[in-house]
Amino acid sequence: MKTKIKNILELEGHDQNYLYLVKKVNNDIGFFIYGSNILFVERNSKNLKKEKISTELLDLNLNILIKSFDIESTFDDDNYNYIEFKGKIESLDFDAFLKLCDIYSNETNNLNFNDFFGSLVNLFRPKKNTHFDLVGFYGELQFIMTSFIDYPMIVNGWHVESNSKYDFVFDKVNIEVKTTCKLEPIFLIKHAQLFNESCNYLCCVHIYEDNSGKNLIDLVNEINDNVVLKYNFDFQLKIENELRKIPLDQQMLVKFSLHEIKIFKKDDIETLIDIPERLTDITYNLNTIGLLETKMEKIDISRIN
């Protein structure tokens, strides 16, 4: 698609006032060039009210009468909604924009156009970059990949809410994933997060840096070999959100191999007792050698919503 975009922009007699078709998804949805920017356009078949929202990278326009299609577009004059991408086409932002728009095209019955725009705005907000995010995200993806074949419901509980205390939340249980690159299986634990009234499980992912292993991009691509996950909009949005926290060089240059994944029920973990109320935010390193392991088949990961 990028090649076609460049060809249109370099076209002699390129009219800044026309919409040039780049890719037709179906009779109602397509990608266009307007001026020098990319538009993702959808016919306003749900009769959304007129609205305009602008951010640094994206513009949303709802219920706009569009007549100026180029003669090759096959789109007729009508009211449309569109999101305009104002960034550079040679960017990770643009790649993410195209990917999520493609997935949204298959989810139009389940997702409102302006809600989709809101998801993109949240995605493209600046985020901090740390090696800690890389290791944690890598571990969560490893857990998903090793669990999904036998337990496809696992993705339904992943990052359910942005402010959730746990990585995976289900109706009856929570699963918190901790990942370490240390030689020993030692994991940093937040005491109050694990030891409370809820039924909590600790998933410990032990990885190690390995030049012959997989980088983060390799792992994401391997997960996306599964068609169900590849076209799951919510899942892909969460992946893109996490990827944006991590610099591209770390995504590509740092490689890991998986040593083991073990799950422990909180009741089977030795912990502190009789903690004075004045002591809060207690964090410590937990060595999991010798702890009683719990198998996935014993964990109820059902989720109604």
Is residue 59 domain-resident? yes
Is residue 303 domain-resident? no
Q: How confident is the model at residue 60 (pLDDT cuts 50, 70, 90)?
A: very high
pTM of the model: 0.76
Say how many C-beta atoms besides its own lie within 10 A of residue 14's C-beta: 13
The reply to whether 161 and 277 lie within a common domain is yes
- Choose one of 75, 97, 123: the last residue of a domain: 123
The reply to whether 276 and 141 lie within a common domain is yes
Is residue 265 domain-resident? yes
The reply to whether 106 and 163 lie within a common domain is no
The reply to whether 154 and 90 lie within a common domain is no
Crossing angle of the two packed helices 113-123 and 233-243, in degrees rounded to 10: 20
Residue 232 CA to residue 244 CA, distance in Å, equals 19
Residue 27 CA to residue 1 CA, distance in Å, equals 18
Tell me which of 57 and 71 has the higher pLDDT: 57
- Choose one of 65, 95, 123: the last residue of a domain: 123
- For the chain, the domain total comes to 2
Is residue 305 domain-resident? no
Q: Locate all alpha helices (DSSP H) within the chain, ordered by sequence.
A: 2-9, 92-105, 113-123, 131-148, 191-194, 216-223, 227-230, 233-243, 248-253
Say how many C-beta atoms besides its own lie within 10 A of residue 204's C-beta: 24
- Choose one of 123, 156, 184: the last residue of a domain: 123
Q: How confident is the model at residue 305 (pLDDT cuts 50, 70, 90)?
A: low
Q: What SS3 state is found at 235?
A: helix
Residue 120 CA to residue 87 CA, distance in Å, equals 13
The reply to whether 160 and 93 lie within a common domain is no
Q: What is the pLDDT of residues 144-194, one digit of tens each?
A: 999 999 999 999 999 998 788 999 999 999 999 999 999 999 999 999 999
The reply to whether 19 and 160 lie within a common domain is no
The reply to whether 219 and 90 lie within a common domain is no
The reply to whether 118 and 166 lie within a common domain is no
The reply to whether 138 and 183 lie within a common domain is yes
pLDDT value of position 5: 83
Tell me which of 194 and 121 has the higher pLDDT: 194
The reply to whether 37 and 166 lie within a common domain is no
The reply to whether 195 and 108 lie within a common domain is no
Q: In the chain, count H helices and then E strands.
A: 9, 12
Q: Which residues contact 84 (CB under 8 A, 6 or more apart)?
A: 34, 37, 38, 39, 58, 59, 60, 61
Is residue 304 domain-resident? no
Q: What is the pLDDT of residues 196-254, one digit of tens each?
A: 999 999 999 999 999 899 999 999 999 999 999 999 999 999 999 999 888 887 898 89
At residue 129, does pLDDT exceed 80? no
Question: Mean pLDDT, to the nearest integer, of 259-283?
Answer: 93
pLDDT value of position 71: 62
Residue 177 CA to residue 139 CA, distance in Å, equals 7
Identify the domain containing residue 72 by its residue range. Answer: 2-123
At residue 109, does pLDDT exceed 80? no
Residue 52 CA to residue 34 CA, distance in Å, equals 17
The reply to whether 177 and 54 lie within a common domain is no
pLDDT value of position 304: 67
The β-bridge partners of 4 are none
